[in-house]
Every structure is written in structure tokens, then in C-alpha cells.
Amino acid sequence: MGRRPTELFAAGSNGGGQLAIGDSRDAHTFTPCIFAGRESSSTSSPDIISIVGGGNHTLVLLSPPDDDSPACSEVWGCGEGAKGQLGPAYIAERGRGNEGAMIFKPLILPFEEQGLFGYAITQVAACWETSFLVLTKPGQHHLLVSMGGDDFGDLGIGGLRSKTGEAPVHVLDFSHIVGSAPSRLLITDITAGPHHAIVLLHVDDKQYIVGWGTARHGQLGPLLAPSSSRALPFSPSPVAINLQIDVQLDPVLSVRTGNQHSLFLHASGRVSALGSNTKGQLRGLQTTGDVLAVDCSWNGSYLRTPMGLLSAGANAHGQLGRDDAPAAPLGTPCFPDGLRVLDFACGSEHVLAMVHSPQGKTEVWGWGWNEHGNLGTGSLTDVNVPVKIWPPSKADPDRLTGDVVAVWAGCGTSWITCSPMTGLV
């Protein structure tokens, strides 16, 4: 049986139409997203696996209608695609008018032209103007495709785009790290900050951590220029990342990236961290255990533990959810008593948290930078401590009372999926 359909709502920055709400005006309250060819009712809305956003574009990975049909997974997109981050067909359509960029449409990608027959898209990620798709096929190596801008080596192809022509998609090569003939290469996680990306690879029961893009602050580990011994500003090709914790003994389960730092969650519940600590975003992380999940804002770090959520780093816009100094070490956001954090998502400098209330309801609370209305409060004022943002205080009883399913956040953007109201399906 397929998953239950959901409805998607968005708020925040929308200059490129990246919210898919039908126009390019910022949305200061949560507004229903539009999927091309689908009615706006929740009964016809797709089920969403993940949402990722670049500077002005968004990718949505939709589940297949049947759990046994992974090849039916689809990637839809909206927003700015001039660099090719949404594929070549999207550029051609955008040239005929702007309206199509303001709603979600299925991306038409030239995989078969490049011999990539029968692959399913199973993960997505995005840098500022670059998109990444993980392709899988039974019995074959997983592949990672990049498309779009390459300003700081974001594509991961060695800075060779001018030599390879304007190929719309590029398959990344990891053979210099894992060997030229691995038995099977699996990509278990991928994440991207504004201009650096990191993947977790498994080959022959061995884990590799690989990254590329901006590197000056050590977010990919210590990379030095051979001629000067100074930190490399960026790496246009994938490089192996080594951590102090041996990943063969304590594997990394997930990785997340900020602007100049990277976090790694190990199977033991410990956390490794690399990169800038100028805002205190790394202070105290490696002394914390029993961590269940990690995420990053551009200049902050967030850990979910059995005891609740912890935050560290920049706080000039209330990003830490507590009345601390502009930058502060690890501490607890100021939630009211009785709320239990179920899940959370970090945007560029704001946070959404799914919580279980004392009344037994699932709610969304948010805090931090709110210049584009990305917290959906109807205001543009930053929020220093968590406030309830869903259900909205003026919810339409016929539309906005479905159960919260998931939250995502991007560059001044926020996303909430809800299941249909009881009786509507």
C-alpha cells in the first residue's frame, strides 16, 4: 500500500519563485504549494521524502506511489535555474516565460542520453546554485550526479567544466579515493552547505567520507596548498576526509554542513566536527553523548538528544532560541515546560522544531532570523525564543488542521507537510 498523501505549505524568501506558491513575493505566513497538474486538495498532493533548497531554487523528492517501486521516485523543482541547477529542459522552458518557475514541476533530466538507463533518484542535496542527485540501480554502483553552478568547485568535477563543455549533468568520480574497481559503492548520505558538499560512501564494508567545495576554514579537514602550506580556499575535486574518531570502529551515520563547518553523527551517539569555530559553533559538541540527530545553520550547530535540543554558535538573530550573547556555547533553547522535540530542521539562520505538546498534539515551533517572514508569523521581526508557528493562530478549520508530518528549512525558507484531515481521504 502507498504512503498517505500530504499537503505542503511554505513561508519565507521567494524572489525566484522557490516556494512554489504561484508568485515571486515573499510569503510571511504558511501558504499552500502548487504542484503542476495536480489539484490543490490534499487528496491529490504527493507524498514527500525530502526537500532541499539552494539560494533561489528548490528540489522535492517525491515517493513512488508504491513502496515496492523505487524507480518511480521523482524529483520536482522550482525557482531559479539559469545555471542549470534544475536541468536543461527547465532553462528552455524558463526562457519562454517566468510563470513555470513559480510552481513545482517534474524535472526532465537527460539521463538516458548519457547511458544512465534504469536508475532511480533516491537522495537530493543543493548548494547555492548547484544540485546533487544520488542514482541507484539494483546490482550497480550508486552514482552521484551534479548540475548547475561551479563557483567554488561546487560541481565536484575538478574545475573542468570549460573542458567538458556545457554538459548538463556530471557524474562524480571517486575512484582516486576508493579504488578503480570496488565491488560495490554505496552512497548512504549526502549534505551540502552554500558552497561545500560531503557524502558518506560504503565500499567493501569500509566507510569513506568525501567532500569538495570551499575548504579555507577546515570544513573538509586540513587541506594545504603544497607550494605555500596555506589552507586551500576550495577543492574542486572530491577529497577524503579523516576524523579523530575512527569511522571503521564507530561509523558516521549522518553528516550536516553549515557555511564554514561540518558535523558528523557517529553510531555511538558521539559527534565529530570540522571547520570554523569563530561563532562558538563547535564548542562543547564533542563532549556530548547519546546524540540522536544533528543539523547546522550557516553559523550554528544543533543536536537532538533524549533530553531535548541543544544549540551552539551565532545568536545575533535569536538563532539559538535563548537569550544569550551574540555567540554562545552549547545550551538549551527556551521551550515551555512539557514540550518534547520529535524532529527539527535548520535553515540558513532559523530553526523549525516538531514538538509533542502536553495536550498530545504535534506542533511546529520556530525561532531565529525572520527577515523574509520565513517563520510564518506574519511579521518580519526576528524571534529570540521558540514560538508556536503551526497550527497557525488563525487556522482555517476546513484546511489547516491536518497532522504535522515533517519540517524542512532552507535559505530563508520553511516547509511544513501535513496529512489530510480525518474524513478527507
Question: Where are the chain's structural domains?
Answer: 274-290+299-390
pLDDT at site 379: 96
pLDDT in tens, 354-369: 999 999 999 999 999 9
What percent of the chain clears pLDDT 90, i.e. is strictly above it?
A: 76
φ, ψ of residue 393 in degrees (nearest 5):
-65, -25
| Whole-prediction pTM | 0.93
Q: Which of the four pLDDT bands, split at 50, 70 and 90, describes residue 422?
A: very low
The answer for 374, left when phi > 0, alpha when psi is -120 to 50, beta otherwise, is alpha
Contact indicator for 323, 384 with CB cutoff of 8 Å: yes
The residue length of the chain stands at 425
Burial of 67 (0-12, 13-18, 19+ CB in 10 A): exposed
> Nearest to residue 127, comparing CAs of 241, 214, 234, 17?
214
Q: In this model, does residue 43 exceed pLDDT 90?
A: no
What percent of the chain clears pLDDT 70, i.e. is strictly above it?
A: 88
**Beta bridge partner(s), residue 117:** none
Cell 576524523 belongs to 243
- What is the amino acid identity at position 418? C
Q: Which of the four pLDDT bands, split at 50, 70 and 90, describes residue 424?
A: very low
Starting at the edge strand that comes first in sequence, how are the strands of the sheet with 340-346 ordered?
Answer: 340-346, 350-356, 362-368, 383-390
pLDDT at site 167: 74
Q: In this model, does residue 421 exceed pLDDT 50?
A: yes
pLDDT in tens, 86-109: 998 887 665 545 566 899 999 999
pLDDT at site 99: 61
- Which range (25-29, 56-60, 106-110) has the least confidence? 106-110
C-alpha cell at 163: 573542458
- What is the amino acid identity at position 263? L
> For residues 113 and 130, what is the distance between their CA atoms, to the nearest angstrom?
21
- Which range (146-155, 160-169, 205-214, 411-420) has the least confidence? 160-169
pLDDT in tens, 258-279: 999 999 999 999 999 999 999 9
Q: In this model, does residue 24 exceed pLDDT 50?
A: yes
